[in-house]
């Protein structure tokens, strides 16, 4: 690994990046020759593009080298298929990977530029909704850092996750145009182009040999064109490729057709095809039946598989018999699950394989990660839509199902009930269950935290688990410490490195060596000073975005994540109202607190949007009431994204992870906060449970019902009124929301919120968990009053986060699921 790195960055490097002087010269050269701007007049963005061009060139060399090594070693490689990659910014990440931060900083300084200001103008690559997309980005980082042969496939959305603006306290979505100055990291590959077909019909005929051959004809085609983004490994010299597909009209490549028809109609058709990669769907649950989304999923899957097969055939010319020996494909949720019938189609219809052999190859190639158990988020596609858009795939799904159900019958004789439950086809609803397709088409299915995997085995996939138990495994999520500590909390990273060296950067388990520092007062004081500095940075961001001034001496209490009823921002808000009332009653908390909430709602999610509005209305009252002074603040930080997270997380004292137990598959923000020395208040849900086990019960604040208790209450009956009547604080807060206390001009505004809590069954157990949550918050407050003890707990949190690195997740996938090994030194 080391040698690979040296080979690229020293002797064989075409670009001399040795000295600050050489870098400076290069930057000026890129500015003039690539950006086309006079150094006299260049602004920060021009320097960003010049710097990115320099860095991209180095990464390209490293990529070519990595690709050569992979080719020579002819190793099995993993392809990570994901509709989302939430990368964020890349400049600092790549400089850290290459060990160039300080030299580039100095070079820019000699050109009168501040690296941090240059880095700030980069747009986030926001090609994802939330946890699932960010996980994919962390995984690529870990793959490259540990020299695993890997490759990401996704879509180059022209519009990423929308920009959230707040107007009159309400979320308004604005288009996100990250490509408007061009993307300095990508390589456009106009020659890497695959046709993707839609619609048409199937004609089958018997060949002389008796074999039935099917053709998919009269299709409407769209071209998929590749853009390659290099993903740098930290200090490994390995660069992994992320290939993103962009839709192009076939007419661009077929002039005859273009000339034959009406010019205007032709251009119109072109626009329709190119819509496919236009926009990321901004819903992370319940978006069913959208034709464009189905086409997006298939477009991406088909292009990626054609590319993978072409690569395999180039290297192993003759056939695809041993595809699974060289190719492992990971399905990031069911979004790419059409890859299963698509590989079958390519093997059978294009490469002449028999069904049985094609099915063997397919099942040994794929594995699938489930990221949610929420029933509304489990994808299904209507049979009628599949029939018209992907008729051959529907046909293959039926064949797959027929074979599978034959197996089921053998396994569960005399149990027709199980047949219906396991079927890929929901006959009543006339829908295909994509999760079932993904399970049947994969050799391994994993959940993303222990509890989640357990629930997956016990509930959603219980019948499957009864039949093929060994298929279901757990791989707890992780996060990359390179972005989430080294890069975003440089001071804490420096302190840690002083104490234990720098091995933790690629081996997070090393952090346990920090444990003794928890009782070292000098270390703890420095830890406090760093937290204070990070809080000042966060307070500045909050003031710039909202105008609200925070006192860095207050406890910074943060809940940042998508706005969802199950994540229970409402529980947090009820508690804020209770604190407000207590201050008004002359019962102030012992310590000032600033509650920070941030996150986006799906544009069509009525209740989530109403909660955002309620947060703003409550904030208006709390922040402008002179009686409150600085004892309580509530702020909603608009447009939460990766770059905002990089400031919020290091600057927080308390991490809110309070989903209804059993509903958050894992969570990854929980890990990021704890790694940065925030303490967690959380439910026994997702990876919170494993965090608790790692840091110890005394170093985390656990509250609320367990998943089992929630399930029991759901079956035995749950009466939110009992909790309302039994808790005066809670009753008063709910009444204030319902009675228009926070919106006197429009007092009925939040009736739907109260109806959900009291009249519609409180599906998320907010009422049931309130008392426990409020009591636990009181314990948090008391603990915060003892800074030494608090800091000791924070150090112990950091010291015990070793297992939550995405490196650990990737090592587990590599060994147990993909069966891949790191590249050997070249």
Instruction: Just list the catalytic residues.
Output: 371, 561-562, 567, 668, 672
Query: With respect to ligand 26V, which residue has the nearer C-beta, 155 or 239?
Result: 155
- Measured from the CB atom, the residue of 131 and 336 that comes closer to ligand 26V is 131
d(CA 49, CA 182): 9
What is the pairing mode between strands 555-560 and 593-598? Answer: parallel
C-beta of 426: minimal distance to ligand 26V in Å? 17
- Shortest reach from residue 709's CB to ligand 26V, in Å: 20
Calpha distance 384→431 (Å, rounded): 8
Q: At 192, list the tokens.
A: 């890497």
Q: How far is Cα 103 from Cα 111, in angstroms, rounded to an integer?
A: 13
β-strand pairing of 593-598 with 632-637: parallel
Going by C-alpha positions, the residue among 805, 452, 520 that lies closest to residue 662 is 452
Task: Please state the three-class secondary structure of 570-630 as a single string.
Answer: HHHHHHHHHHHHHHHCCCCCCCCEEEEEECCCCCCCHHHHHHHHHHHHHHHHHHHCCCCCC
Q: What share of the chain is helix, strand, coil (3-state, %, to 5)?
A: 55, 15, 30
Residue 131 or 230 with smaller CB distance to ligand 26V: 131
Phi, then psi, of 692 in degrees rounded to 5: -60, -45
Q: How far is the CB of 710 from ligand 26V (least distance, A)?
A: 16
Q: Whose Cβ is closer to ligand 26V: residue 377's or residue 654's?
A: 377
Which residue, 129 or 680, is less far from ligand 26V as judged by CB?
A: 129
Q: CB of 394: closest distance to ligand 26V in angstroms?
A: 20
Q: How far apart are CA 232 and CA 657, in angstroms?
A: 31
CA distance 682 to 704: 8
Per-residue HEC secondary structure of 10-71 comes to: CCCCCCCCCCHHHHHHHHHHHHHHHHCCCCCCCCHHHHHHHHHHHHHHHHHHHHHHHHHHHH
Closest CA to 797 of 598, 562, 531: 531
> CB of 14: closest distance to ligand 26V in angstroms?
39
Q: How far is the CB of 447 from ligand 26V (least distance, A)?
A: 9
Cβ partners under 8 Å of residue 126, min gap 6: 86, 88, 160, 161, 176, 178, 280, 641, 642
Indicate the residue whose CB is closest to ligand 26V.
131
CB of 486 to ligand 26V, least distance (A): 21
741 closest CA partner among 572, 581, 632, 630: 581
Under a CB-based contact definition with an 8 Å cutoff, are residues 473 and 368 in contact?
no
Closer to ligand 26V by Cβ: residue 144 or 663: 663
Are 198 and 389 in contact by the 8 Å Cβ rule? The answer is: yes
In the complex, least distance from residue 606 CB atom to ligand 26V, rounded to whole angstroms = 17
Contact criterion met (CB below 8 Å) for 704 and 575? no
Whose Cβ is closer to ligand 26V: residue 83's or residue 730's? 83
Note the Cα 531 to chain centre separation in Å: 26
Residue 466's CB is within 10 A of a number of other CB atoms, namely 13
Closest CB to ligand 26V among 130 and 237?
A: 130
Closest distance between ligand 26V and the C-beta of residue 493, in Å? 24
Q: Which positions touch ligand 26V (CB under 6 A)?
A: 129-132, 135, 281, 283-285, 287, 333, 371-372, 377, 379, 448, 477, 664-668, 686
Min dist CB 294 to ligand 26V, Å, is 10
Between 88 and 130, CB nearer to ligand 26V: 130
Task: Determine which helix (DSSP H) or strand (DSSP E) holds 203, and give its type and residue range.
Answer: strand 201-206
The DSSP result for 323-358, as a single string, is HHHHEEEEEESSTTTTHHHHHHHIIIIIT---HHHH
How many CB atoms lie under 10 A from the CB of residue 268? 10
Q: Report the residue number, 276 or 635, with the smaller CB distance to ligand 26V.
A: 276
């Amino acid at each position: 690994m080391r040698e690979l790195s040296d080979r690229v960055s020293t002797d064989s490097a075409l670009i001399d990046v040795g000295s600050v002087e050489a870098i400076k010269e290069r930057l000026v050269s890129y500015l003039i020759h690539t950006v086309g701007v006079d150094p006299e007049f260049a602004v920060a963005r021009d320097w960003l593009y010049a710097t990115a061009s320099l860095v991209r060139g180095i990464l390209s060399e490293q990529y070519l080298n990595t690709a050569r090594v992979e080719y020579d070693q002819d190793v099995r490689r993993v392809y990570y298929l994901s509709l989302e990659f939430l990368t964020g910014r890349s400049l600092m990440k790549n400089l850290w990977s290459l060990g160039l931060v300080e030299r580039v900083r100095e070079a820019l300084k000699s050109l009168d530029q501040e690296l941090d200001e240059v880095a700030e103008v980069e747009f986030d690559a926001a090609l994802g909704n939330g946890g699932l997309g960010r996980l994919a980005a962390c995984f690529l980082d870990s793959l490259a850092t540990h020299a695993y042969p890997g490759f990401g496939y996704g879509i180059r959305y022209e519009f990423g996750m929308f920009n959230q603006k707040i107007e009159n306290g309400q979320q308004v979505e604005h288009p996100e145009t990250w490509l408007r100055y061009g993307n300095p990291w990508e390589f456009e590959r106009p020659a890497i182009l695959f046709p993707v077909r839609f619609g048409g019909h199937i004609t089958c005929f018997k060949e002389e040999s008796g074999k039935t051959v099917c053709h998919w004809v009269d299709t409407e085609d769209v071209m998929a064109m590749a853009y390659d983004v290099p993903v740098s490994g930290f200090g490994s010299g390995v660069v992994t490729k992320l290939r993103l597909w962009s839709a192009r009209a076939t007419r661009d490549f077929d002039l005859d057709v273009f000339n034959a028809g009406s010019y205007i109609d032709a251009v119109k058709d072109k626009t329709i095809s190119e819509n496919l990669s236009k926009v990321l769907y901004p819903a992370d649950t319940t978006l069913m039946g959208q034709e464009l989304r189905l086409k997006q999923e298939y477009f991406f899957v088909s292009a990626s598989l054609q590319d993978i097969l072409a690569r395999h055939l180039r290297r192993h010319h003759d056939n695809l018999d041993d595809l699974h020996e060289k190719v492992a494909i990971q399905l990031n949720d069911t979004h790419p699950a059409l890859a299963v019938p698509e590989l079958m189609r390519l093997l059978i219809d294009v490469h002449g394989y028999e069904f049985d052999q094609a099915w063997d190859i397919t099942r040994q190639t794929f594995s699938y990660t489930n990221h949610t158990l929420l029933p509304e988020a489990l994808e299904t596609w209507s049979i009628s839509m599949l029939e018209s858009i992907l008729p051959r795939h529907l046909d293959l799904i039926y064949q797959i199902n027929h074979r599978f159900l034959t197996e089921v019958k053998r396994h569960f004789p005399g149990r027709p009930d199980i047949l219906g439950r396991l079927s890929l086809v929901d006959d009543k609803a006339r829908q295909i269950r994509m999760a079932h397709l993904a399970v049947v088409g994969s050799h391994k299915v994993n959940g993303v935290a222990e509890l989640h995997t357990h629930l997956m085995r016990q509930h959603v996939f219980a019948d499957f688990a009864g039949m093929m138990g060994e298929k279901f495994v757990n791989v707890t999520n992780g996060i990359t410490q390179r972005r989430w500590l080294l890069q975003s909390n440089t001071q804490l990273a420096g302190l840690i490195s002083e104490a234990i060296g720098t091995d933790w950067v690629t081996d997070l388990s090393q952090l346990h060596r920090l444990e003794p520092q928890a009782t070292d007062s000098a270390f703890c004081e420095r830890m406090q000073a760093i937290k204070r500095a990070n809080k000042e940075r966060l307070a500045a961001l909050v003031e710039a975005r909202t105008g609200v001034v925070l006192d860095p001496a207050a406890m910074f209490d943060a809940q940042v994540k998508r706005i969802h009823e199950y994540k229970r921002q409402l529980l947090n808000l009820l508690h804020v109202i209770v604190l407000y009332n207590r201050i008004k009653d002359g019962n102030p908390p012992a310590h000032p607190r600033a509650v920070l909430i941030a996150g986006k709602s799906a544009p069509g999610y009525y209740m989530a949007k109403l909660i955002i509005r309620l947060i703003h209305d409550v904030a208006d009252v709390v922040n402008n009431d002179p009686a409150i002074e600085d004892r309580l603040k509530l702020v909603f930080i608009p447009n939460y994204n990766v770059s905002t997270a990089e400031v919020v997380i290091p600057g927080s004292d308390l991490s809110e992870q309070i989903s209804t137990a059993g509903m958050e598959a894992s969570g990854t923000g929980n890990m990021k906060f704890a790694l940065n020395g925030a303490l967690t208040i959380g439910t026994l849900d997702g990876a919170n449970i494993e965090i608790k086990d790692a840091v110890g019960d005394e170093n985390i604040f656990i509250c609320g019902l367990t998943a089992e208790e929630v399930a029991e209450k759901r079956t035995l009956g749950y009466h939110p009124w009992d909790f309302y009547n039994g808790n005066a604080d809670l009753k008063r807060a709910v009444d204030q929301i319902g009675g228009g206390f926070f919106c006197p001009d429009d007092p009925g505004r939040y009736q739907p919120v109260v109806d959900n809590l009291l009249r519609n069954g409180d599906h998320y157990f907010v009422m049931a968990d309130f008392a426990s949550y409020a009591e636990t918050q009181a314990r948090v407050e008391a603990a915060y009053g003892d800074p030494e003890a608090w800091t000791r707990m924070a150090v112990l949190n950091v010291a015990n986060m070793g297992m939550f690195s995405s490196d650990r997740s990737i090592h587990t996938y590599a060994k147990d699921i993909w069966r891949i090994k790191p590249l050997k030194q070249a």
